[in-house]
Homo-oligomer: A and B are copies of this chain.
Amino acid sequence: MALDPSRTVAELKELRELTGDENGAQRVAWTETWERARSWLREKVAPTGAEHEIDEAGNQWFTLRGASERALLIGGHMDSVPNGGWLDGCLNVLAGVEVLRRIAEEGTPPLTVRLVDWADEEGARFGRSLFGSSAAAGSMADQDELRQRRDANGIALPDALREHGVELDRALEARRQLENAAAYLELHIEQGPVLESLDLPLGVVLGTFGVERHQITWRGQAAHAGSTPMDKRRDALAGAAKLALEIRAIAAEVGGGAVCTSGGVVCKPGIVTSVVETAEQLLDQRHLDAASLARLLALAKEASERFAREESLEVEWERIWSIEPILFDERLIELADESIREVCGTSHRLPSGPLHDAAEVARAGVPTVMLFVQSLRGLSHTKLEDTREEHLELAVQALDRLATKALRAFAA
């Protein structure tokens, strides 16, 4: 039985029928539909003889015993956002299933091979993404806070998890799952426009961006739009506007794939007859290199102070969230590059803007790499999410070749 990438496409469609509706995928973690997807997955994997297990964090594992206890992990997530796409998360798992079939067919592998369906990557119901992988990585530090979380219907997170057999207090015991991990591979749709713009099916991911996320508050003076001459104004919007434009020059100056986004400005009083007194601006800055990320932030702060002086405003920065860049394994990046070139001629290296379960695994010290397959129009988290079927098949092939190379490299 050879690798059959078209089967992956067929199974993706079968899953879509089983767990989606006219609004898209509905496999939200800790729901019946999600459980249905996981049962279906278990049936699909059963013929390979891989052992099935659900760990303390709700992660679903399929283990194919090899010559060594050290394990090659291939992962993804069956859960989706509400009204999600047909690929985000489950492509990764179903491509892994096909690779597992091919390896099982060939006899005992040199390393144990494990397929993992991480629990609640999206965090759609309780707003906590990467639940299962962060538990396994030992980086889940917010359990006290999670105990208080409730969904839109007021159901507490620990109660919802218990209904699916997971005790929050024991979730970190899932850490044992990574003890023998030799390497971790994950395929994902890009969820961005880069590969499409380069007309390339596949790329290798260098790591996930570090993120600096701030709210910047500009304070000026409300004043009547009719009675206040232009030179007597302290317009908070002017500060926010200058920074919204300047971050583009800053990203260009720092380079190396830097992205800076001002996702919104809230103006107060926000009425047509008043100069803006307060502008609350959101800023998201990302870079794969920690020093460059720090420079993005420093340059933006410097610019904001200059603009505050120019406009006679006060400016204040408040950090909302930050995370350091997480770099993937250089050896695996090389192997992934080779695999992609073998399958489709040309490869491309790119960072990942969004976080993924792979980032948690990498943080835990497991050599990790990801493959990206082209997303049409960069769309995801919507039923409009799509990738050409020929590209999906190439992705399965590339993941399979990467698994073979990784087994060889890490068994040595």
Contacts and interface: CB of A to CB of B under 8 A. Distances in A.
A192 B191 CA distance: 51
Interface in A234-273: 235, 237-238, 240-242, 244-245, 248, 251-252, 257-267, 269-273
Contacts of A224: 191-192, 353-354, 378, 380
Nearest to A215: B272
A286 interface: yes
A3 to B, nearest CB: 29
A190 interface: yes
A155 interface: no
Nearest to A258: B230
A282 to B, nearest CB: 4
Interface residues of A, number: 58
B230 A248 contact: yes
Nearest to A259: B230
A231 to B, nearest CB: 9
A228 B225 CA distance: 37
B244 A352 contact: no
A2 B267 CA distance: 52
A224 B257 CA distance: 14
Contacts of A114: none
Interface in A59-100: none
A150 B310 CA distance: 45
Interface in A205-226: 209, 211, 213, 223-226
B191 A259 contact: no
Nearest to A230: B251
Question: Taking each of A225, A271, A353, which has the highest tally of chain B beta carbons within 10 Å of its own beta carbon?
Answer: A225
A238 B245 CA distance: 6
A272 B264 CA distance: 7
Interface string A378-411: 1010000000000000000000000000000000
A194 B232 contact: yes
Nearest to A375: B227
Contact of A272 (B242, B257, B272, B284): B284
A323 B191 CA distance: 49
A344 to B, nearest CB: 21
A292 interface: no
Contacts of A245: 238, 241-242, 245
A371 interface: no
Contacts of A263: 225, 267, 269-276
Given A194-B227, A230-B260, A245-B245, 18 more contacts: A190-B227, A192-B227, A197-B232, A226-B259, A226-B286, A227-B352, A228-B259, A228-B378, A230-B248, A232-B378, A235-B261, A237-B262, A237-B264, A241-B242, A263-B270, A263-B273, A265-B267, A266-B270
Interface of A: 190-194, 197, 209, 211, 213, 223-230, 232, 235, 237-238, 240-242, 244-245, 248, 251-252, 257-267, 269-276, 282-284, 286, 320, 352-354, 378, 380
